[in-house]
Amino acid sequence: MNEARALPCLEPLPDLDREEEPTGAPFFLPGESPRVHNRPKSRPKLEIRNVVKTFASTKGLIRALSNINLTVHEGEFACVLGPSGCGKSTLLHLIAGLELPDHGEIRLYSSRTKKGNNAEKLIIFQEAALFPWLTVLENVLFGLRLQRLGAKESKERAMHFLALVKLENFANCFIHELSGGMKQRVALARALVLDPELLLMDEPFAALDFQTREKLQSELEELWKRTKKTIIFVTHNVEEAITLGDRVILFSGQPGTVKQEYTLPPGRPRQKESPFFAELAVEIKRDFQNPGRELVEQVTG
Amino acid sequence: MRFFWGKTAFYLLLLLGWFLLAHSGWWPEYMLPAPEKVFQTLGEGLCSGRYLLAVLISIRRLLLGYLFSLAIGIPLGMLTGKCRWLDETVGSLLLGLQTLPSICWLPLSLLWFGLNEQAILFVVVMGAVLSITVATNSGVKNVAPLYIRAGKNMGAKGVVLFLRIILPAALPSIVIGLKQGWSFAWRSLMAGELLFINLGLGYLLMMGRELNDMAQVIAVMFVVVMLGLFFDRLLFSRLEKAVRRRWGFDHS
């Protein structure tokens, strides 16, 4: 059944604009020959242009996002890394359309022509946000029911995606009977079953213990390879970002801005123990904590 | 079950104390009748059908009033919960009226409706409807924003969002309101029947007083307690428990 409706596997999409520079700053370590990771380029999926968002709070206006420019490509796994309160979640809410930007533009290049599907950009929240009054299966069915699919077809689809996250035996459980990791897997199934254009993940594994997190990371990587979804994954964990992302977009906070981008080599699964990744992690952590790269270079140079 | 024997012993002791006190002769019988006398009266009343008739009349009033309260209270609570200006206006009025004991509506009700069933129904409704409304209102207002965000994210909006997310998410709170509303309706009904005598259990109570028949007074009070327990255990506690279990509040 799984293979019958085989999801397209990871293969390069036709190159549309080969001559253009690869997006994101190419990353190379000091002392290493400059290396641009040539990967099959694909068309942009999401374009964020000059987005500004301000919130009113008791302390007056707070600028959550200041002039964000970002392009995410079809099938890309983009990790947005930043300290808490840097506007990462706000960015996801804006992309999902739950809030509107004060200024700027967010454009999704949908691969579908048909309209009427409201669930194009789905968020996986940190707390899973499953509905406790529904069983696991009913939670996964929730979005399908809104789209008025046939009952039998809906159920088959839902069970297929529950099997994909290895929870087919828990279909009739209530949400409070599941562990934190299982809840996130249900949330993943609930989103994937709707076949979204974009999967937005808002620190989904932050509340999980170390082992569960590592397990879910590799499962997510596997699911991403199989479904070829475009994922924007928000995290404050450097290791998580470089384990999962094709590209790591470092945010700085207050107001949130894109500070630095790192394009990672395509090989997967990542050899996290290799010197390359160890040094990369150190590098990113330094950038993470310091006010700006240029400033550091001035001081040390 | 752990306290079953303890409970049994407690009630037997209570009964024994009552028995001894009643037979000690400290109080005249019209003040403290012996337990066997009360049970005898209770048995006679039940057998003759007098109590049964009163119970049926009271329950009919209660159910009718409660149904009206549900039909008014739940939609009103939802509207005030969802609509800010309605909440500020109508909602504040309802909160204020909630402090008014429902029996205070009886004089008004008697003047409006006269000495008939509607008058007592009105008092019952005024007793139940406010707590149902207020509980529904706060349930709807306190739905976790995360659920609403998740629902909207999957494409739910308007009525669908309301029926599929806000209502079920608010259900635990609504059920508490339903339970409270029932007990208020029950209290209002008894108060109403006592003051405005027209059959029903309250009427039997007052009859007992007028005939100086304390055994009847206590027997009818016993019936009232039993009925209250019956509905609470049979209906509301079960409902509440089921909802709490399903929502996962009893696990942690």
| Residue B13, pLDDT score | 95
> What is the ipTM score, two decimals?
0.77
| Distance, CA of B195 to CA of B206 (rounded, Å) | 9
Question: Is A146 within 8 Å of B153 when comparing Cβ atoms?
Answer: no
| Residue A287, pLDDT score | 79
Query: Is A97 a residue whose pLDDT tops 70?
Result: yes
Contacts of B146 in chain A (CB under 8 A): 125, 127, 129
| Residue A297, pLDDT score | 44
| Residue B251, pLDDT score | 52
% of chain A at pLDDT higher than 70: 80
End-to-end Cα separation, chain B, in angstroms: 23
* CA nearest to B248 within chain A: A176
| Distance, CA of B202 to CA of B221 (rounded, Å) | 9
Q: Which of B146, B149, B153 to mutate to test the interface with A (most CBs of A within 10 A)?
A: B153
Count structural domains, chain B: 1
Confidence of residue A34 (pLDDT cuts 50, 70, 90): very low
Query: Is A293 a residue whose pLDDT tops 60?
Result: no
Confidence of residue B250 (pLDDT cuts 50, 70, 90): low
Pick the range with the lowest mean pLDDT from A34-48, A272-286, B117-131, B221-235. Answer: A34-48
| Residue A96, pLDDT score | 86
How distant is the Cα of A259 from the closest Cα of chain B, in angstroms? 29
Query: Is B10 a residue whose pLDDT tops 90?
Result: yes
Mean pLDDT of chain B: 89
Question: Is A147 within 8 Å of B169 when comparing Cβ atoms?
Answer: no
| Residue B181, pLDDT score | 92
| Residue A126, pLDDT score | 85
| Residue B235, pLDDT score | 86
* CA nearest to A122 within chain B: B153
Mean pLDDT of chain A: 77
pLDDT per position as a tens digit, A185-217: 999 899 988 888 889 999 888 888 888 888 888
Confidence of residue A291 (pLDDT cuts 50, 70, 90): low
* CA nearest to B159 within chain A: A146
Asked, for residue B58, whether it belongs to a domain, the answer is no
How distant is the Cα of B238 from the closest Cα of chain A, in angstroms? 17
Asked, for residue B54, whether it belongs to a domain, the answer is no
**Residue of B147, B153, B160 with shortest CB distance to A122:** B153
Q: Which pTM does this prediction carry?
A: 0.77
Buried b (16+ CB within 10 A) or exposed e, A282-296: ebbeebbeeeeeeee
| Residue B55, pLDDT score | 92
Asked, for residue B63, whether it belongs to a domain, the answer is no
Cα–Cα distances (Å) from A95 to A129, A244, B56, B69, B150, in that order, read: 18, 20, 61, 44, 14
Q: What is the mean pLDDT of residues A125-140?
A: 90
| Residue B252, pLDDT score | 46
- Identify the contact set of chain B against chain A, taking CB-CB distances under 8 A: 146-147, 149-157, 160, 164-165, 168-169, 171, 246-248, 251-252
**Residue of B151, B168, B248 with shortest CB distance to A175:** B248
Residue B50 structure tokens: 């007098």
How distant is the Cα of A2 from the closest Cα of chain B, in angstroms? 24
Asked, for residue B208, whether it belongs to a domain, the answer is yes
Higher pLDDT, A28 or B200: B200
| Residue A61, pLDDT score | 81
- Partner B, chain A 223-242, Cβ-Cβ below 8 Å: none
| Distance, CA of A263 to CA of A27 (rounded, Å) | 6
| Residue A131, pLDDT score | 92
A249 by Cβ neighbours in 10 Å (0-12 / 13-18 / 19+) ranks as buried
Q: CB contact, 8 Å: A143 with chain B? A: yes
Asked, for residue B10, whether it belongs to a domain, the answer is no
| Residue A110, pLDDT score | 75
Question: Is A142 within 8 Å of B164 when comparing Cβ atoms?
Answer: yes
Contacts of A175 in chain B (CB under 8 A): 248
| Residue A7, pLDDT score | 39
Beta carbons of A137 and B251 less than 8 angstroms apart: no
Residue B166, domain CATH = 1.10.3720.10
Q: CB contact, 8 Å: A208 with chain B? A: no
| Residue A11, pLDDT score | 39
Helix (H, G, I), strand (E, B) or coil at A249: strand
Q: CB contact, 8 Å: A120 with chain B? A: no
Backbone angles phi, psi at A81, to 5 degrees: -110, 140
Q: What is the mean pLDDT of residues A142-155?
A: 85
Confidence of residue A118 (pLDDT cuts 50, 70, 90): low
**Residue of B153, B160, B248 with shortest CB distance to A123:** B153
Whose tokens are 């499953």? That residue is A130
Pick the range with the lowest mean pLDDT from A244-258, A282-296, B117-131, B140-154. Answer: A282-296
Question: Is B251 within 8 Å of A175 when comparing Cβ atoms?
Answer: no
One DSSP character per residue, A83-133 reads -TTSSHHHHHHHHHTSS--SEEEEEE--S--------SEEEE-TT----TT
Q: What is the mean pLDDT of residues B218-226?
A: 92
Question: Is A118 within 8 Å of B154 when comparing Cβ atoms?
Answer: yes
Parent domain of B215: 92-246
Backbone angles phi, psi at A236, to 5 degrees: -110, 10
Question: Is A98 within 8 Å of B164 when comparing Cβ atoms?
Answer: no
Query: Is A16 a residue whose pLDDT tops 50?
Result: no
| Residue B247, pLDDT score | 84
Contacts of A119 in chain B (CB under 8 A): 153-155
Asked, for residue B14, whether it belongs to a domain, the answer is no
Q: What is the mean pLDDT of residues A181-185?
A: 89
Look at phi and psi of residue A203 and say left if phi exceeds 0, alpha if psi is from -120 to 50, else beta: left
